[in-house]
């Protein structure tokens, strides 16, 4: 698995130093130049770790830290604070605000990376992958699914789906984000031994959309990836 790291800093040099090194280590790096931008980003993305510079324009770094911690869905992303001041006060404040680690500038890149690794290890242990075999429910935007009850609810209204439509939707919901080709869907949803046209997938998607999408022309859940297939859109916005 590849970890996604959000770096919040306003100095171009530092950004490049950090991001190129993290990328070399195999991490995916997301950047934000200001606290506002970082908070904005967090509405749509969930990084595995945040590197936060305390000396930011606009919202003060500590405030950003506090606000991140206030969001329930991001309450346990590890935050690593960078600070120019080596003052003990900042350090303590930062840790109190919910930061997980603290480094002062100038810092050694090597040390930064090893602290990031350590933080990710710790977080992985603290939140082991939910291997509850099957999640019993799923919810996203206005869509709610109860896999046990075979019930689909959209905008708090129950929707009646046919067997295949249900399987199709369940499959997408269990594999959000990833794109599947028509053939893959035939394999996974219909089962390998069927002899049907790939076009048939289109038809069922269309029928499904009519039932669960507000505007079937602009699907919010199952989106088409032209010339590739379809995917369940898991973006937050």
Measured torsion, CA atoms of residues 176, 168, 209, 46, in degrees rounded to the nearest 10:
-10
187 binds, among DNA, its own copies, none (CB under 5 to 8 A by kind): its own copies
Q: Mark the segment that binds its own copies (CB under 8 A) among 52-60, 74-82, 133-141, 204-212.
A: 133-141
Least distance (Å) between residue 156 CB and DNA: 21
21 binds DNA (CB under 7 A): no
Alpha-carbon Rg for the chain in angstroms: 22
Tell me whether residue 67 or residue 175 sits nearer to its own copies (CB atom).
Answer: 175
Residues in region 7-36 near its own copies by CB under 8 A:
16, 19-20, 23, 27-32
- Residue recorded with tokens 């606009």: 58
Q: Is 136 left (phi over 0), alpha (psi -120 to 50) or beta?
A: alpha
**Which two structure tokens, joined as six digits, stand for 111?**
């040390």
| 236, 43 Cβ separation under 8 angstroms | yes
Options 190, 211, 220, 234; binder of DNA; rule CB under 7 A? 190
Cα dihedral 98, 104, 109, 110 sign: negative
| 201, 185 Cβ separation under 8 angstroms | yes
214 binds its own copies (CB under 8 A): no
Tell me whether residue 46 or residue 206 sits nearer to DNA (CB atom).
Answer: 206
Strand order in the sheet with 151-154: 137-140, 143-146, 151-154, 157-159
Tell me which residues touch its own copies (CB under 8 A).
Answer: 2, 16, 19-20, 23, 27-32, 37, 41, 45, 111, 114-115, 117-118, 121-122, 124-125, 135-137, 139-142, 144, 146, 148-150, 155-156, 158, 162-163, 177-179, 183, 186-187, 192-198, 225-228, 231, 235-237
């Amino acid at each position: 698995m590849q970890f996604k790291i959000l770096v919040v800093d306003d100095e171009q040099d530092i950004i490049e130093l950090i991001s190129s090194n993290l990328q070399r280590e195999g991490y995916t790096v997301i950047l934000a130049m200001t606290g506002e931008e970082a908070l904005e980003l967090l509405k749509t993305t969930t990084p595995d770790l945040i590197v936060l510079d305390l000396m930011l324009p606009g919202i003060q770094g500590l405030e950003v830290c506090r606000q991140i911690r206030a969001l329930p869905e991001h309450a346990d992303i590890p935050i690593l604070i960078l600070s120019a001041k080596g003052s003990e006060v900042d350090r303590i404040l930062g840790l109190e605000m919910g930061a997980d680690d603290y480094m002062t500038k100038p810092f050694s890149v090597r040390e930064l990376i090893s602290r990031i690794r350590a933080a990710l290890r710790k977080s992985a242990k603290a939140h082991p992958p939910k291997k509850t075999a099957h999640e019993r429910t799923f919810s996203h935007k206005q869509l709610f699914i109860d896999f046990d009850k075979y019930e689909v609810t959209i905008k708090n209204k129950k929707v009646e789906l046919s067997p295949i439509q249900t399987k199709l939707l369940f499959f997408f919901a269990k594999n959000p984000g990833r794109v599947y080709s028509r053939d893959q869907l035939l394999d996974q949803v219909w089962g390998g031994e069927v002899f049907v046209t790939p076009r048939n997938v289109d038809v069922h998607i269309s029928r499904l959309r009519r039932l669960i999408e507000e505007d079937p022309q602009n699907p919010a859940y199952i989106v088409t990836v032209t010339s590739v297939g379809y995917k369940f859109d898991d973006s937050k916005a």
